[in-house]
Structure 1
Amino acid sequence: MSTSTTTPARDRPGLVLTAIAVSQLMVVLDASVVNIALPAIRDELGFSPTGLSWVLNAYTLTFGGLLLLGGRAGDILGRRGVFLAGIWIFTLSSLLAGLAPNAWTLVATRALQGVGAAIASPTALALIATNFTGPARVKAIGVYGSVSGAGGVAGMILGGVLTQWTSWRWTMFVNVPIGVFVAILAARHITPSDRATGRFDIAGALLSTVGVTALTYGLIRTPTNGWDDPQALITLAAGVALLAVFVLVEARHSAPLMPLRLFAHRNRVSANLLLLLLGGTIFGVFFFVTQFLQNILHLDAFTAGLAFVPWGVGIFAFSQLIKPLSQRFGVKPVLIAGALCTAAATIWLSRITEHSGYWTAVFGPMTLFGIGIGLQFALITRVALSDVPPQIAGAASGVLNVSQRLGGSFGLAVLVAVFGSVVANADHHPADITHGYRVAFLVGIGYTVAALLLAVFGLTTAPKPAGQPAPSPAKAPA
């Protein structure tokens, strides 16, 4: 049993939403802002070619591995306090990362950043579920979705600006004033939530953390070591086995880390699968389009980042249309329209050649991706969190975040493996490299088509738009 209740945002809901949205922007930015700074980091700190990847991997491992634990911790220990702890860990580790004197200090502090992100990100989403109700919640989820969808693009642009005009260290330092700002807003304006009763699920915490970490590590290794790498295969198998045991433990625990009743609703399962597929598409497109822009079109890092501006503009523009469109046509048709846009964009990219230019081969797909993600991200979040009891909102948010992170890692690993097999025996001529990109995009079409089919056949009756009575669970499960 739980004493948790939904508590509306206190005196200034706009400031509550600002704290939540900016915290999510900071977390999403950090996953991409460092990419463009990697060459400068390598030169200054003396990373080896293989060691450099751990600047990204250390963050990904701890972030993905601790998401379920971070989400549930907010339910049990109180969301505002856990959110503040995550923000302060992230902020202080960002400061230490910017001051890192050597390579492995940077890797260690990046891992600590991932810990803070894993605590703050699912808790931020749960705070929306417990601080906002009715139309205000729909609006808040829309803002959260827009920030999450466009943060990666903003990170690439910001990373180019900071690295080119200041130092790579500012890709870390920039988080410090933002984190302090968020912490002050949250402490002053977010209402403390009631805590869920019951003991902490230690076994579930250990199994999920080690299992997701092992799975993430195996997926990280495959792009550079191949799918036949023994260490990758062992860790992948261990991750799957541990997560299987985790499910068995959760089924018997009185206060599980991941309540299995979250998966009792078809729409909620479909929403998590949609985000899994969308994550794989986003990671893959970011990676291969960036490679094409720099390796084939020979754009510098800053200009390559600017090339994604249509993506960000599309997300912000069309996320603003979600409310009127869903009120007029319903949630499911809008999600289908978004899935059609991302599928069309991937098909367009699969026609790329070494003679293609930005305006003929990249601008159009980037615009379509922005429109598609803008129409989908917030609505997927809304469907996944619809009718979730407040006392397990953190767990539901953690599952949603894990879906996106694992989808991105797995989706990218598959596409990179496909690309590597295509160019393995090639002469590395631009035509050969571009052919590899094209084949990767052809496989990526499978992600977007699967998402489209899931939107059409997986979703039943989605939640009604804001301002209309919610359907009863018996007739239209959320």
Structure 2
Amino acid sequence: MATITDTLDVEPGREPAAARLLGSRPVWLVLLAASVPMFMATLDNLVMTSALPVISKDLDASVGQVQWFVNAYTLAFATLMLAAATLGDRLGRRRMFLGGIVLFTLASVGSALSTTPAMLIAARAIQGAGAAAIMPLSLALLAGAVPVSKRALAIGVWGGVSGLGIALGPVIGGAVVDGVSWQAIFWLNVPVAVVAIPLALYALRESFGRSNPLDVAGVVLAGVAVFAGIWGIVHGNDDGWTSAIVLGSFIVSAVSLVAFLVREQRTEFPMMPLRLFKSRSFTIANIVSLGFSVGMFGAVFLVSQYLQIVMGYTPFQAGLRTLPWTAAPMLIAPLAGILAPRIGIRPLLVSGLALQAGSLAYMAVVLVPGSSYVSMIPALMMAGVGMGLTFAPSATAVLSDMADDDHATASSTNSTIREIGVTLGVAVLTAVFLGFGGALTPTGYTDALRPALIVGAFAVAAATVAALFIPNRRS
């Protein structure tokens, strides 16, 4: 089988980045080594959704604590990805990649052993920190290993694996909760890591980027901005949106965000180089990622619980019924990766986002008291196909104008913004749900779910409009 190094041009006096990374390893093995840990991290974004009602009951958790079971993971994930990419460039991408796998696995064990909501929230935060080193470096290692002519296809396969994690998350979580216990959904990560670590050691070679010092002040300011803003949204309904503590959290968030941007503009080695946003493709791809994540992942959080609380399905039955939504990206994302160089990324992104916005609006109409699962299937299929058309083209758009040395930073910036969108989506849509009187009971769920889905549809619709302006490159 041909290797990636067969297709690379060698710069005079310098071994190419992909050759340093791979040696003589075949392409499929490198793709597998980069994708398996990413699959593990992606799986844990949604693996809890089918288990949340069971965990909530077992640990006697409130609605706010249930949100933090998800948000603790995504906040740590979002806040630390850029720092992990910087350290990966400086200390070695494979080294940080492996460190992320180890930390993620240990935190998974901690999650499984949790006996209180606070313990689970803390373990999930550490788990998110491990995932922060896995996801962006996975894409950076892969993108730097393939020639430009094959990059869209490789990213498409990578997106398909990501889609597989999304597809199997609710199903695996539901099956394990029904068959064993909710703790077992975290124990599953241990055997995956046992395979992933030696595979990465064998198939991947160490690579480095720019040897810049870590922007500690930037990490702290970004973390405070995101955490304070999400905290205010989560506590707005309970404490009052005009209360001093909620308003104060929003002020702290805004001031920290401004300070972060000023810091990144002036420091010699920024965590998030603002120069990357000079690329229209990169900027619009990140706007799309934010709006898409707010709408769709906030909806996934609520709809997965709707299937159990209102329709009465078990966790496994509910997970199976999300497959028209979550399985489609596994099939569509590689196809989108193949089509992107031929027809351009704009038609794929616009059509995919429009399908997703329409799916949420459709669900908001059909989900009335007494509605059946069958009425949801068209909307679930629209959402799944739309997500599949979004993943690979948006990832391609993020890297299309970037130099090889910027791949890790650009990828981690996009992943950071996307995960912030996931956290915002869960927080905002849940706040709308609670603001309309939502409760975790059959009678209190449906009426409050509908306005939350409408808000999600508007968020994805805004991303659709932004996608109209992305450069439509072809190769």
TM-score relative to the length of structure 2: 0.88
Contact map agreement 2:348 2:389 (CA 8 A) in 1: yes
CA distance in 1, matches of 2:151, 2:240: 44
Q: Distance in 1 between matches of 2:81 and 2:234?
A: 17
Aligned match of 1:7 in 18, 21, 34? Answer: 18
TM-aligned CA deviation for residue 336 of structure 1: 1.6
Distance 1:350 1:136 in 2: 40
Q: Is the 8 A contact 1:251 1:260 kept in 2?
A: yes
| Aligned mates of 2:241, 2:163 — CA distance in 1 | 29
Matched AA of 1:342:
Q
- 2:472 pairs with 1:462: yes
The CA deviation at 1:344 is 2.0
Deviations 1:25-62 (A, max 9, x none): 11121122233334544565565675555433432332
Look up the match of 2:11. Answer: none
1:255 is aligned to 269
Query: Do the aligned partners of residues 303 and 256 (structure 1) sit closer, same or farther apart at CA in structure 2, a change above 3 Å counting?
Result: same
- Change over 3 Å in CA distance of 1:354–1:241 after alignment to 2: same
AA partner of residue 434 (structure 1): T
Q: Aligned to 2:205, which of 188, 191, 200?
A: 191
What is the match of residue 10 of structure 2?
none
| Closer, same or farther: CA 328–5 of 1 in aligned 2, 3 Å | closer
Match of 1:448 among 435, 438, 460: 460
For residue 358 of structure 1, what is the aligned residue in structure 2? 373
Q: CA deviation at 1:87?
A: 0.8
- 2:221 aligns with one of 196, 203, 207: 207
Deviation per CA, 1:371-412: give whole Å up to 9, x if none.
111011110011011131222222211211121111122233
Aligned residue pairs, count: 457
CA distance 1:197–1:6, shift in 2 (3 Å): same
Change (3 A) 1:302 1:263: same
Cα deviations by residue, 1:433-459 (Å, 9 ceiling, x for unpaired): 433222222222211221221111x21
Question: What is the CA distance between 1:102 and its match in structure 2?
Answer: 5.5
Match of 2:8 in 1: none
The corresponding residue for 1:439 is: 451
Q: Which runs of 5+ in 2 are unaligned?
A: 1-13
- Per-residue CA distance 1:164-218 (angstroms, 9 max, x = gap): 1112221111101111211111111112113413433232233223333333433
CA distance in 2, matches of 1:279, 1:49: 21
Is the aligned partner of 1:275 residue 2:289?
A: yes
Q: Alignment RMSD, CA only?
A: 2.6
Equivalence map 1:71-150=2 (5 Å): 71-100=85-114, 104-150=118-164
Partner of 1:131, secondary structure, is coil
Residues 232-261 of structure 1 show CA distances to partners (whole Å, capped at 9, x for unaligned) of 432332222212111111112222111111
TM-score by length of 1: 0.87
CA spacing shift, 1:230–1:154, aligned 2, 3 Å: farther
- 2:196 counterpart residue number: 182
Aligned AA (1:297): M
Is it true that 1:381 corresponds to 2:392 in the alignment? no
Structure 1 position 112, deviation (Å): 1.6
Q: Deviations over 1:410-469 (max 9, x none)?
A: 233332222323337x9x884x7433222222222211221221111x21x2332xxx3x
- Contact in 2 for aligned 1:89/1:116 (Cα 8 Å): yes
Q: Please give the alpha-carbon distance, in whole angstroms, between the structure 2 residues aligned to 1:219 and 1:289.
A: 20
Which amino acid letter does the alignment assign opposite residue 139 of structure 1? L
Q: 1:252 to 1:50 in 2, by over 3 A?
A: closer
CA contact (8 A) 2:152 2:338 kept: no
CA distance in 2: counterparts of 1:195 and 1:38, whole angstroms: 40
Percent of counterpart pairs with the same letter? 33
The correspondence of residues 409-428 of structure 1 with structure 2, limited to 5 A, is 409-423=423-437
Within 5 Å, which residues of 2 pair with 1:308-323?
308-323=322-337
Change (3 A) 1:220 1:22: farther
Return 5+ residue gaps in structure 1 as ranges. Answer: 469-478
**Equivalent position of 1:68 in the other structure:** 82
Residue from 234, 249, 252 that aligns with 1:238: 252
